[in-house]
Amino acid sequence: MFSDDRFRDYQPANLRKDFISGITVGIVAIPLGMAFAIASGVNPEYGIYTTIIAGLIVALLGGSRFQIAGPTGAFIPILLAVVLQYGYENLLIAGLMAGVLLVIMGIFRLGNLIHYIPRSVTIGFTTGIAVIIFTGQLGNFLGLSELDKKEYFHQNMLELFQHIANVNGYSILTALTGISAIILVTRFAPRAPILLVALIIPTTIAVLFYPNQLDTIGTVFGEIPQTLPHFHLPEITLAKIQELWQPALVIAALGAIESLLSAVVADGMTGKRHRSNKELFGQGIANIITPLFGGIPATGAIARTATNIRSGAVSPFSGVIHSVFVLATLLLLAPYASHIPLAAMAPLLMFVAWNMSEYKAFSQIIKLKTGDSLVLLATFLLTVFVNLTVAVQVGLLLAILSFIKKKSESLQVENRKQNSLDLTAHFRHMTFAIKGPLFFGTAQAFEQSFHSTVQSAPHVIILNMSEVTLIDATGEEKLASFIAGIKKMNRIVFIAGLPDWGVELFKRSGLYDVIGSTSFFLNEEDAIQAATQLEYTPGD
């Protein structure tokens, strides 16, 4: 079904570039995989498993040469909510169901739908997710080990304030060390693996100077297994499918959006073109297989994909090497990860949240003070205070309503009576130029435009429809009703300049026969000429 040309003309010399870029992005992926898993409410090794398996499958089956897949920050609030409400085992089922949905989306070629999601919606929920991630790390930053994770933002903030007296100074020192490392490395050594350095430095300081003084991965989650992930088939029942279809749909939708956005970013950096439907198919297969080994849902990771490209990647082999490197690191160095303080993980996620916040685009859209600004704010606030599902649904609904409002204002009905109304002659005709879309959003405006005309209609009404861009069922019905009213008064309607698609629409609806084939003209001039040739007397 999907041919693969991503490996075409591959040269042995390219393997060295892919090897270097794969190792580089693998170094970045290890701390992020653990951090995202912990923030999602599951053990850190599950993030590593996801990085290995999803990264490998998407590299082999995806539609982009450079895509790096794995756990991402965007999924954190969704996965945490699923874990809190349904449990880890059901998260695996929801992830597998999401994978099936992604495969279906790829097969039915729905990849281009990404272009129909308004920027105000994506910026709104992305910034909202960034706020949730950032504030979700305040507990680890402050060393508040007794916090209970809640489903809603305000509940977590209240929980934080209730335990604020239990601040651990060692945790704050460790977190500040990590933040300082990020700032210094970003400024003086931007090509270094920033997140890995920012993890190693505070961890080393904590182990050497104040061991056993703060929570670590080992004390909270136990040691990370130094083994390959084991195959496990979750217990899938019809009842669970019915229970989990909504979270699965949200995971699939966000996974599709994130993956395709990442692929678009990669295209912009390289000049290559990804294949949207093949990418969805590859992401779907990855999300079907990953849960069978304990992994959490995965998607294309924009930051890791960009790192892959900047490191010189040539083909998907870099993604394969990235997965192999993470696997080798798991088998060799897993025991050392137990010493990593949670306070050292907090700056990494805060840094990720800041980078994904889109604060400049957010501010720019707010300054517009348009319908997009309202869509953005609604999506953002609902993401933070309710959940992503409601936020996206409401955001898209508001965007649609805003679009309809804009379109409803674009319909113009121009009365050209000054050119075509001859009051001195027995014959009278009037021309109207209809411009723009004639659909349910403009149907009322169309009807009002002709209200007075129906009451005192001339003998012939010419409708110039050459600039009509759309006619839907409602618009067709309003037009038919207007024409029926005119005909009841023994008046004539001419249609001028109607595009071919409009003629076909009228033929299918039957309106063409009602108007009559002799009443259609190629342009307004022909219609006026035909009207002036008609004989009219007051007795008619």
For the chain, the domains span 16-392, 412-532
Question: Can you spell out the DSSP letters for 270-310?
Answer: HS----HHHHHHHHHHHHHHGGGGTPPP-EE-HHHHHHHHH
Query: 412-532 has which CATH code?
Result: 3.30.750.24
**pLDDT confidence of residue 418:** 45
pLDDT at 2 over 80: no
**pLDDT confidence of residue 454:** 60
**pLDDT confidence of residue 167:** 95
**pLDDT confidence of residue 459:** 82
Q: Rounded to whole angstroms, how far apart are CA atoms 518 and 221?
A: 81
**pLDDT confidence of residue 490:** 85
pLDDT at 56 over 80: yes
Could you report the per-residue pLDDT of 258-283, keeping only the tens digit for each?
Answer: 999 899 889 988 888 899 999 999 99
Question: In this predicted structure, which of 10-14, 214-218, 504-508 has the lowest mean pLDDT?
Answer: 10-14
Quick one: pLDDT band at residue 419, thresholds 50, 70, 90? very low
**pLDDT confidence of residue 243:** 95
Could you report the per-residue pLDDT of 468-484, keeping only the tens digit for each?
Answer: 999 999 999 999 998 99
Question: Can you spell out the DSSP letters for 101-166?
Answer: HHHHHHHTT-GGGGGGS-HHHHHHHHHHHHHHHHHHTHHHHHT-TTPPP-SSHHHHHHHHHHTGGG
Quick one: pLDDT band at residue 417, thresholds 50, 70, 90? low
> What percentage of the chain carries pLDDT values higher than 70?
94
Question: In this predicted structure, which of 107-111, 150-154, 446-450, 503-507 has the lowest mean pLDDT?
Answer: 446-450
pLDDT at 236 over 90: yes
**pLDDT confidence of residue 420:** 44
Quick one: pLDDT band at residue 405, thresholds 50, 70, 90? confident
Burial letters for 44-56: b for 16+ Cβ neighbours within 10 Å, e otherwise?
A: bbbbbbbbbbbbb
pLDDT at 228 over 90: no
231 φ/ψ angles, rounded to the nearest 5 degrees: -75, 135
Query: Is the pTM for the entire model greater than 0.85?
Result: no
Tokens of 369: 């003070």
Local structure of residue 457 (DSSP, 8 states): -
pLDDT at 3 over 60: no
Span 36-42, average pLDDT: 94
pLDDT at 138 over 90: yes
pLDDT at 424 over 70: no
**pLDDT confidence of residue 284:** 97
pLDDT at 151 over 90: no
Span 433-456, average pLDDT: 81
**pLDDT confidence of residue 538:** 47
Most confident of 287-291, 335-339, 388-392, 461-465: 287-291
Half-sphere exposure in the Cβ direction for 169 (13 Å, CA): 1
DSSP H helices, 42-118, are 44-61, 76-86, 88-107
Rounded to the nearest integer, the mean pLDDT of the chain is 90
Span 221-231, average pLDDT: 89
Span 24-34, average pLDDT: 94
Sequence-separated (6 or more) residues with CB below 8 Å from residue 248: 94, 95, 97, 98, 101
Q: Rounded to whole angstroms, how far apart are CA atoms 477 and 488?
A: 16
pLDDT at 423 over 50: no
pLDDT at 520 over 50: yes
Could you report the per-residue pLDDT of 306-347, keeping only the tens digit for each?
Answer: 999 989 999 999 999 999 999 999 999 999 999 999 999 999
Half-sphere exposure in the Cβ direction for 3 (13 Å, CA): 2
**pLDDT confidence of residue 363:** 95
3-state helix, strand, coil in the chain (%, to 5): 70, 5, 25
**pLDDT confidence of residue 4:** 64
Q: How far is C-alpha 439 from the chain's CA centre?
A: 28
Q: Rounded to whole angstroms, how far apart are CA atoms 373 and 185?
A: 36
pLDDT at 422 over 60: no
Q: In which element (H, E) is residue 470 found?
A: strand 460-471
